[in-house]
Structure 1
Amino acid sequence: MSEPLREGNNIDITSINPWIILVFLKRNFFKLAIFAITFGCVGYALSFLLTKMYLSKTLLLPEQPISNNGALSSLVGGLSGINNAERIGALRTDIYPNILRSVPFALALLKQPVQDIDNKNYPSLNDFIKRSSEGTSLFEKLLGKKKITNNDKHIVPEKEILSLSNDEESSVQRVMSLVNTTIDIKSGIITIQCEMADPIVAAQVTQAASTYLLKYVEDYRTGKTVREVAFLEERVLEAKRREQSAELLLQQYRDRNRNPFLNVARIEEQRLQSDYTLAQSLYMDLVRKLEQSKIKVKEEQPIFKVLEPTTISSKTSKPRRLIIAGIFTILGGVIGIVFIFFINRK
């Protein structure tokens, strides 16, 4: 076994057959075992230095759009490239993860008040993150250097344009990495999960993300109708005032002319009566449309069924010590093979 390995630097790897390798492993089994076990124990010990993480998740089942026209409508929609969700104005479920990866969501989540496992209240998630991490990495703490950032904001006149400082951008990116949203294409089930060192905060972040998603989808579905309701409510108030004014003018005219014998007086009364009738008809029509719009808002509200509520995890999800120990064990075995191989070459 040792002879082929002592031929110097001109060893042809392709000439080594599997039998030689098996003999090498058999002869050095205990040495390799010591390397593997040692590295495995070291990896298992190092896993205790890693931060414990807790996973919190919730499962949601959104409303599935159904076509009212049957198979023919589905066929026409398929040929035209428009699916059922697009026809009824629903938001496609495959866009939901993008909603929870947006900057507005991250900014809203950073303002969410939280309470940690020690029952300590924080005015916002951003304060909790800053106090738990203190804004510096382990390398910077060892060097004693403070992270230099530029906190200046650019002033922009447009309200639709966001201006974030470096610290805010860093916080936004960190919050985006906390929440993970996945969708099962077959069943349509939405899974929202968050993994943090504090199980209580992780559950609160998961619940806040779920609430934000439901509110966003509801605003998308009912936003147009809600604006229509607000518009009609203003028009109803104007029509009501117009009706009351027309009625008041008509009654005042009748009080002043109780015994009209002139045709001119009758014409004026008819005109006032016509204005009142028109104002009353307009008011009733607007009231009817307002009630229809309110009903439409209820009809367009999305339906989400909570299959699994947000729970506080009592078991750690990370670090996975056995996996870490297994990786170190394999690494130790490989290092042991290389080490013994080069020792035998000398």
Structure 2
Amino acid sequence: MNENKNYQHPDVQDPENDELEIDWMEILRKIIAIRKTLYKAAGVGVVLGIIIALSIPKQYTVTVTLSPEMSGDKAGGGLASLASSFLGGGASSSPDALNATLAPDIVASTPFILELFNTRVQTLDGKLDTTLVAYLDEQKQPWWGYIKAAPSMAIGAFKSLFTEKTDSATTLNPFQLTEKEAAKVKELRQSILAEADKKTAMTTITVTMQDPKVTAIVADSVVAKLQQYIIDYRIKKAKEDCAYLEELYKERQQEYYEAQSKYAHYFDSNRNIALQSVRAEQERLQNDMNLAYQVYSQVAQQLQVARAKIQEEKPVFAVLEPATIPLEPSGTSKRVIFMGIILLTVCCTGAWILLGKEYWKKINFK
């Protein structure tokens, strides 16, 4: 007689099912048994929460949104094209060498950050009116930040005893920064962020600092400097071309005036002389004058086109979201931090008593 191998006695339980079952009542009884310990852990969490929450300084965030309009978007409708059509020339628009999506790289660059050092800032209460680089020294940090920075501060103080003091007003050199300058550049790079949407070319600049008015001032300064940086880059070539044509225009103008003066002087001096040689010389001087005028006229036309192109090359920035002084701090609130630390302390304590001790004993016994 064949026995069914899959048959199992109802009194015999599958060990795998035992592992999947959780006795919630047993866990609840264990938690109730250690409730006094959990109360003490909650008290410790309250103390830690107060200390940590009060130690973290408030942060304020200002966000500015820009929408740049480059000259490449103007399909032949710029001033240079208009001037060229009237003056008989041809103006061709080249692709932008500086794309709007490079704004994050520009804002994060060391030369750009160093230009912000001397920006004048003022706190909301009006007690502090100084430069941005000096304000960075006034910003608070958690107590553990001072502990972390204590070794480097001690080393810096020790080095200062053996080094000569340098003038703080000296020009910053991006090629060789001091440790203090490099630390402030890093701090500003973390506080000032820029993001660019490659599809829409929208640029978002976010500044986070501890004073709301300082944050708004820095955000506005970053936007202004970024706009000026892109404008200077875009019109640099047009300005160089215009300056060259200005010099060329003056030279050709002087040549034309000289040729005109020679012709007029020779014509007045030999008006009543009917010699063929005199007529030949007069015709030659007249041709020189006409040729000088043609060259002078062409350069004048090119100069007008170059002057119009400077204005055309300037990008237009539409500030969709301007910088305003924030009313509320950003980031995680102190209340959430306080409650989170209490919950974390209680959970860690309960997990250690219910699970950690047992596994720790097993590890030690092994």
TM-score normalised per structure 1 = 0.76
Q: Deviations over 1:154-193 (max 9, x none)?
A: xxxxxx9722222222222222122011123454321101
The whole-number CA distance in structure 1 between the counterparts of 2:65 and 2:174 is 33
Indicate the residue corresponding to 1:116 in structure 2. Answer: 123
Tell which structure's C-alpha radius of gyration is larger: 2
Aligned length, in residue pairs: 309
Alignment CA distance shift 1:344-1:259 (3 Å): closer
Quote how far apart the aligned CAs of 1:272 are: 1.9
The whole-number CA distance in structure 1 between the counterparts of 2:59 and 2:28 is 39
Contact persistence 2:121–2:129 (CA under 8 A): yes
The whole-number CA distance in structure 2 between the counterparts of 1:333 and 1:211 is 50
Quote how far apart the aligned CAs of 1:42 are: 3.5
Quote how far apart the aligned CAs of 1:118 are: 3.6
1:238 corresponds, among 233, 251, 269, to 251
The whole-number CA distance in structure 2 between the counterparts of 1:302 and 1:162 is 30
1:104 corresponds, among 103, 108, 111, to 111
The whole-number CA distance in structure 2 between the counterparts of 1:93 and 1:26 is 63
User: What secondary structure is seen at the aligned counterpart in 2 of 1:58?
Assistant: strand
Q: Unmatched 5+ residue regions in structure 2?
A: 1-16, 77-92, 167-172, 362-366
Contact persistence 2:65–2:202 (CA under 8 A): yes
The whole-number CA distance in structure 2 between the counterparts of 1:18 and 1:334 is 22
User: Any residues of structure 2 matched to 1:8-27 within 5 Å, and which?
Assistant: 19-20=22-23, 23-25=26-28, 27=30
Indicate the residue corresponding to 2:56 in structure 1. Answer: 50
The whole-number CA distance in structure 1 between the counterparts of 2:25 and 2:272 is 126
Quote how far apart the aligned CAs of 1:116 are: 2.6
Quote how far apart the aligned CAs of 1:234 are: 1.3
Contact persistence 1:52–1:319 (CA under 8 A): no
User: What secondary structure is seen at the aligned counterpart in 2 of 1:62?
Assistant: strand
Read off the aligned partner of 2:147 and give its amino acid letter. F
The whole-number CA distance in structure 2 between the counterparts of 1:223 and 1:250 is 41
Q: Deviations over 1:119-142 (max 9, x none)?
A: 3432x32122235569x9622887
The whole-number CA distance in structure 2 between the counterparts of 1:217 and 1:250 is 50
Indicate the residue corresponding to 1:277 in structure 2. Answer: 290
User: Any residues of structure 2 matched to 1:63-74 within 5 Å, and which?
Assistant: 63=69
Quote how far apart the aligned CAs of 1:255 are: 2.8
Contact persistence 1:182–1:191 (CA under 8 A): yes
Indicate the residue corresponding to 1:34 in structure 2. Answer: 39
Alignment CA distance shift 1:344-1:286 (3 Å): closer
Contact persistence 1:31–1:336 (CA under 8 A): no
The whole-number CA distance in structure 2 between the counterparts of 1:319 and 1:211 is 30
Pairing 1:260–2:268 present: no
Contact persistence 1:232–1:286 (CA under 8 A): yes
The whole-number CA distance in structure 2 between the counterparts of 1:260 and 1:325 is 109
User: Any residues of structure 2 matched to 1:1-346 within 5 Å, and which?
Assistant: 19-20=22-23, 23-25=26-28, 27-29=30-32, 30-31=35-36, 34=39, 37-38=42-43, 41-42=46-47, 44-45=49-50, 46-63=52-69, 88-119=95-126, 120-122=128-130, 124-132=131-139, 138-139=146-147, 145=154, 147-148=156-157, 162-318=175-331, 320-341=333-354
Identity %: 26
CA-based RMSD of the aligned residues comes to: 3.6
User: What secondary structure is seen at the aligned counterpart in 1 of 2:116?
Assistant: helix
Contact persistence 1:57–1:194 (CA under 8 A): yes
Read off the aligned partner of 1:293 and give its amino acid letter. A
Read off the aligned partner of 1:121 and give its amino acid letter. D
Q: Unmatched 5+ residue regions in structure 1?
A: 1-13, 70-85, 154-159
Contact persistence 1:35–1:332 (CA under 8 A): no
Quote how far apart the aligned CAs of 1:55 are: 0.9
Contact persistence 1:140–1:147 (CA under 8 A): no
Contact persistence 1:36–1:331 (CA under 8 A): no
Contact persistence 1:53–1:319 (CA under 8 A): no
Contact persistence 2:64–2:206 (CA under 8 A): yes
Contact persistence 1:47–1:319 (CA under 8 A): no
Stretch moving more, 170-179 or 36-45: 36-45
